[in-house]
Amino acid sequence: MFTADATIDAIQNGKKTFVKLFVQNETMADTMNSFIDEQSAYTKKAVNATTELVTTVAQESVKAVQNATKFDYAKFGEGIMKAYTATASSKK
């Protein structure tokens, strides 16, 4: 199964490997690795928040559809027709 955290970690580990191989200055490497760690934490939080949002919207949409299917449209139509008939007969 696809997990966003595993994908994020794979990308960030690739960045850290690049830093390890090509950045010789230890201070710069530490700073870059710190940035990569912070970037990873932020990205994971953003993905989790987005996932939670999508889940909530989907659940509420399902509830709305379920409530709409419980509505008695025939009874509503009869009420509208009674109101129309009453209005039409009072105008005569």
pLDDT tens digit sequence for 12-50? 999 999 999 999 999 999 999 999 999 999 999 999 999
Using a 10 angstrom Cβ sphere, with 0-12 exposed, 13-18 middle and 19 or more buried, the burial of residue 49 is exposed
CA 77, CA 2: separation in Å to the nearest integer?
48
- Give me the mean pLDDT over the 49-57 stretch: 96
- Could you give the residue ranges of the DSSP H alpha helices within the chain? 4-22, 26-70, 73-90
* Mean of all residue pLDDT scores within the chain: 91
CA 15, CA 8: separation in Å to the nearest integer?
11
- Give me the mean pLDDT over the 60-66 stretch: 93
Could you tell me the pLDDT band of residue 10, with boundaries at 50, 70 and 90?
Answer: very high
CA 19, CA 37: separation in Å to the nearest integer?
13
Residue 1 has pLDDT above 60, yes or no: no
Q: Which sequence spans correspond to the domains of the chain?
A: 4-90
